[in-house]
Amino acid sequence: MAEQVETLPAAGFAELEAFIGGLSFEADLESRRGVLIDTLHKAQEIFGYLPEEVQKTVAEKLGLHLSEVYGVVSFYHYFTTEIRGANKVNFCMGTACFVRGAEKVVAQFEEELGIKVGETTADGLFTLGTLRCVGACSLAPVVMVNERTYGHVTPEQVSRIVAEYRK
Amino acid sequence: MTRFATREDFTAYTEALAKAGSGKERTRILVGMSTCGIASGAEAAYEAIGAAVAEAGLDNVEVVKTGCVGLCHAEPTVEVERPGKPLATVGKVDAERGRQLVADLAAGRELDGCLCTGGEVYGNQVRIALRNCGRINPENLDDYLGNGGYQALARALFEQKPEDVIAVVKESGLRGRGGGGFPTGLKWEFARKSQADTKYIVCNADEGDPGAFMDRSILEGDPHVILESMALAGYAIGAANGFIYVRAEYPLAVKRLTLAIDQAKAKGLFGQNILGSGFSFDVSIKYGAGAFVCGEETSLIHSIEGKRGEPTVKPPFPAESGLWGKPTNVNNVETLANIVPILQKGGAWFRAIGTESSPGTKVFALAGDVKNVGLVEVPMGTTVREIVYGIGGGTPSGKPVKAVQTGGPSGGCIPAEKFETPVDYDTLTALGSIMGSGGMIVMDQDTSMVEIARFYLQFTCDESCGKCTPCRVGNKRLLEILDRLLQGEAKADDLTTLKELSLVIKDTSLCGLGQTAPNPVLSTLQWYHGEYEQCLRPKKTVKDYRIVEEKCVGCTACARICPVKCIDGVVKKPHVIDQDKCVHCGACFSTCKFDAIVCE
């Protein structure tokens, strides 16, 4: 796990606890389990990732074992325990993108930023990641930067896209 | 709008709606606003068109946000419905062209950039599941009601017994569109017969197959049909609660579903005591968190329960013991989208479309090296050629199509020589592929089939949940062999191992993911064995000598000096080097006086 650079904001924990407090679930184990994934989605939305401290809070508030929470976090791709850069560059790994040359685009991003997929740049600006098919196959190959979708991306366009987020 | 307390209230309202709509000479401009439309700039076009219509004072023109019409290659797309004229489809509409379109309309001119009129662009399609996508505003309940929405539910609740509903679905012969192809009516019957105080309906909207996006399109373009169908399923099996398990990657779909649920509940068409019938049905939306295996129904059920999405052995089937141990009926989005039309028009009507063993239509997501990328819905039994060339328009480069991949990571490749095959569940299985959820990836001559197999296997390895050994370890070993083949380091018996191991994984894996994971390898091995064999040969380290036809005068000097006699040709005619025999000695190269032999 990456070194935790900054301390987690207290306001985030307050928001998370308020979210859990607002959920309607019964006291039994099944109900508490049933809201776990929703809670983790919220927690990742607040903190950007799910470090041990956050997982502990979730486990405590829902009355679940930390091991169970960690089991769920580590199972699903959507959840991450590593802190991520300010800009998340994600490559669609769908078949249409693959057929249309996504690998060349990925390689160009890796070269441009000097990191591999799954890593974050030293300045904390970019994280490279992969995404399951976003279903925008007509735009293949697709790169998502944060919420924005870039379609028909060629290796030549990469430096321009990166520059947009360097400002 | 008030809540309908009775069926009569509802009927009165829909009749008034139909009356208000008839006789009106209105022009409708439909702007496709699904995820891909918006990513291509549909929002700017929508705003520009709206502003231009207001500016020109065109009172009888309505600008409507709609779902996806499936012409992804031409996004953003706009369709214009005019009284007395055929439907006009316009592609690649940005703000500028949007304004132009309104100006053309106002002046009564031909529409600039019109792709086609009368819907010709759809080819020989039959739209059942997608019938409302791109035709109605998904955020407006009245649009759905105007197309007969919630009528099937109202009729079932007041005129049909649950068994009657199941009988209609059984008669239709509808099979699960998520990939399994299990008869939906039978599934409902099993769930109906299970005795329990609580039962559940689950809509599987975890569309994980890379390259398939029809479920997203239906959810974004026609969310009410899913609610109505789920309520029908609930009524049929005796369930009062449902879950829609949707991918976290589909935010727009979730937004429109949530809105639809609120609208339908406010009108008494959903939720407590629907239309005063005494039947209640409500759903909750559950987010997936990115796991392909959660498309498998037992995994999906565990995920809704908040656990790791690992599958369990069937039986017991979910129809007996599913969510929290209760009987659960899981249906895919496209399957559900067919339920309402079947109950509206009857099982026999549906059965008459498609083939004997697979009635109805299937939506395919056509993508890859194909001109008209998009969603197509065709009757079962349509040939691959018709879909790829007739509707898809062939490859953008004009090169011949080499193969079509169906069924995603669980499917296989169909080679060009089998393109006359009529597509249904059984013919695809016979070809070593599967129907799957309907992804259809077109590949041209430049695609390496070994690399495609590796691509899918990499996907399966990443997505294997790790519970059972054949899938977790077996697929990893398959991937290693493919890596060796592609790096030119393969061992002689690797192809035998590849095949044997694939068959073992198929036979011994716990769930559908593992049982189908080797399909991409097996089907490419079957149809493109030569490409695998080529990988066994050592990588080329020397350059090839070649005779340039235009420069060769046919002096025969090279043929005479060649030590292995691999140059063939007639006097005064260009000669040819047989590359398989050539030993790269270079004797011909130095002998030729006409620079007709090149080394590359």
The beta-strand segments (E) located in B449-536 are none
* Chain A interface test: which of B308, B370, B486 (most A C-beta within 10 Å): B308
ipTM comes to 0.84
Asked if A34 and B305 come within 8 Å (Cβ–Cβ), the reply is yes
Per-residue pLDDT of chain B (600 residues; tens, 9 = 90+): 689 999 999 999 999 999 887 766 788 999 999 887 887 889 999 999 999 999 998 888 999 999 988 888 888 999 998 888 888 889 899 999 999 999 999 888 888 777 777 666 667 789 999 999 999 999 999 999 999 999 999 999 999 999 999 999 999 999 999 888 999 999 999 999 999 999 999 999 998 888 888 999 999 999 999 999 999 999 999 999 999 999 888 889 999 999 999 999 999 999 999 999 999 999 999 999 888 999 999 999 999 999 999 999 999 999 999 999 999 999 999 999 999 999 999 999 999 999 999 999 999 999 889 988 889 999 999 999 999 999 999 998 889 999 999 998 999 999 999 999 999 999 999 999 999 889 999 998 888 999 999 999 999 999 999 999 999 999 999 999 999 999 988 888 999 999 999 999 999 999 999 999 999 999 999 999 999 999 887 655 567 888 999 999 999 999 998 888 889 999 999 999 988 888 888 888 888 999 899 887
To the nearest 10°, report the CA torsion of B527, B529, B532, B534. -120
Q: Are B259 and B222 in contact (CB under 8 A)?
A: no
* Chain B interface test: which of A38, A74, A75, A152 (most B C-beta within 10 Å): A75
Residues of A in contact with B39 (CB under 8 A): 136, 139, 149, 151
- For helices B529-536 and B519-527, what crossing angle results, to 10°? 90
As a whole number of Å, the CA-based R_g of chain B is 29
All residues at 6 or more sequence positions from A103 whose CB lies less than 8 Å from its CB, including other chains? none
Nearest chain B alpha carbon to A35: B306
Asked if A137 and B373 come within 8 Å (Cβ–Cβ), the reply is yes
Phi, then psi, of B198 in degrees rounded to 5? -130, 140
Long-range contacts of B447-450 (CB under 8 A, 24+ apart): B447/A99, B447/B369, B447/B402, B447/B403, B448/B531, B449/B402, B449/B403, B449/B413, B449/B524, B449/B527, B449/B528, B449/B531, B450/B482, B450/B485, B450/B486, B450/B524, B450/B528, B450/B531, B450/B532, B450/B535
Q: Are B437 and B363 in contact (CB under 8 A)?
A: no
* Residue B473: DSSP 8-state: I
- Provide the pLDDT for residue B309: 94
Distance between CA B192 and CA A86 in Å, rounded? 51
* B141 CB within 8 Å of a chain A CB: no
- Total Cβ atoms within 10 A of residue B467: 18
What is the rounded average pLDDT of the residues A61-82? 94
Residue tagged 């950039």 (tokens): B113
* B309 CB within 8 Å of a chain A CB: yes
Beta-bridge partners for A132: none
Question: Which tokens belong to B586?
Answer: 């270079």
* B426 CB within 8 Å of a chain A CB: no
Asked if B39 and A95 come within 8 Å (Cβ–Cβ), the reply is no
B513: closest CA among B586, B456, B551? B456
Residue tagged 């030119």 (tokens): B488
Q: Which residues of B525-534 are buried (b: 16+ CB within 10 A; e: fewer)?
A: bebbeebbee
All residues at 6 or more sequence positions from B102 whose CB lies less than 8 Å from its CB, including other chains? B29, B49, B52, B53, B56, B58, B61
Asked if B303 and A100 come within 8 Å (Cβ–Cβ), the reply is no
Residues of B in contact with A135 (CB under 8 A): 35-36, 207, 212-213, 216, 249-250, 365
Q: Is the pLDDT of residue A50 over 70?
A: yes
Beta-bridge partners for B61: B27
Q: Is the pLDDT of residue A6 over 60?
A: no
Residues of B in contact with A132 (CB under 8 A): 208, 210, 249, 290, 292
Q: Note which residues in 245-284 of chain B have CB less than 8 A from chain A.
A: 248-250
pLDDT grade, residue A1 (50/70/90)? very low
Asked if B308 and A71 come within 8 Å (Cβ–Cβ), the reply is yes
Distance between CA A101 and CA B516 in Å, rounded? 26
Residues of B in contact with A131 (CB under 8 A): 249
Taking the CA atoms of B155, B161, B166 and B168 in sequence, report the sign of the dihedral they define: negative
Asked if B441 and A99 come within 8 Å (Cβ–Cβ), the reply is yes
- Provide the pLDDT for residue A2: 46
* B392 CB within 8 Å of a chain A CB: no
- Residue B561 amino acid letter: I
Q: B516 CA to chain A: closest CA distance, Å?
A: 17
Beta-bridge partners for B368: B442
Distance between CA B274 and CA B270 in Å, rounded? 6
Nearest chain A alpha carbon to B372: A138
Asked if A96 and B304 come within 8 Å (Cβ–Cβ), the reply is no
- Total Cβ atoms within 10 A of residue B7: 17
Burial label for A77, CB within 10 Å (0-12, 13-18, 19+), is middle
B504: closest CA among B533, B531, B466, B477? B477
* B208 CB within 8 Å of a chain A CB: yes
Across the interface, of A36, A75, A132, the residue whose CB is closest to B210 is A132
- Provide the pLDDT for residue B541: 59
* B39 CB within 8 Å of a chain A CB: yes
Question: Which tokens belong to B572?
Answer: 């005064």
- Total Cβ atoms within 10 A of residue A16: 20
Q: A5 CA to chain B: closest CA distance, Å?
A: 26
The DSSP bridge pattern shows strands B114-117 and B88-90 to be antiparallel
Our separate counts of H helices and E strands in chain B read 25, 18
The beta-strand segments (E) located in B144-210 are 200-205
Residues of B in contact with A95 (CB under 8 A): 210-211, 367-368, 405, 408, 439, 441, 455-456
Asked if A76 and B309 come within 8 Å (Cβ–Cβ), the reply is yes
Long-range contacts of A18-25 (CB under 8 A, 24+ apart): A20/A58, A20/A61, A20/A62
Residues of A in contact with B309 (CB under 8 A): 75-76
- Provide the pLDDT for residue B463: 92
Distance between CA B457 and CA B417 in Å, rounded? 25
Asked if B441 and A78 come within 8 Å (Cβ–Cβ), the reply is no
Residues of A in contact with B439 (CB under 8 A): 95
Asked if A151 and B40 come within 8 Å (Cβ–Cβ), the reply is yes
Q: Which residues of A24-41 are buried (b: 16+ CB within 10 A; e: fewer)?
A: ebeeeeeebbbbbbbbbb
Q: Is the pLDDT of residue A166 over 90?
A: no
Taking the CA atoms of B96, B97, B99 and B103 in sequence, report the sign of the dihedral they define: positive
Q: Are B257 and B219 in contact (CB under 8 A)?
A: yes
Q: Is residue B223 reached through a cis peptide bond, with omega within 30 degrees of 0 on the bond before it?
A: no
* A76 CB within 8 Å of a chain B CB: yes
Distance between CA B8 and CA B237 in Å, rounded? 26
* A35 CB within 8 Å of a chain B CB: yes
Residue B529, classed as helix, strand or coil, is helix
What is the rounded average pLDDT of the residues A95-106? 88
Taking the CA atoms of A120, A124, A126 and A129 in sequence, report the sign of the dihedral they define: positive
Residues of B in contact with A37 (CB under 8 A): 286-287, 289, 303, 306
Q: Are B439 and B406 in contact (CB under 8 A)?
A: yes
Distance between CA B23 and CA B3 in Å, rounded? 27
Residues of A in contact with B40 (CB under 8 A): 139, 151
The DSSP bridge pattern shows strands B567-568 and B576-577 to be antiparallel
What is the rounded average pLDDT of the residues A133-156? 85
Q: Are B215 and B437 in contact (CB under 8 A)?
A: yes
Task: State the count of interchain CB pairs (< 8 A) between A and B.
Answer: 126
- Residue B419 amino acid letter: F
Residues of A in contact with B441 (CB under 8 A): 95-96, 99
- Provide the pLDDT for residue A77: 87
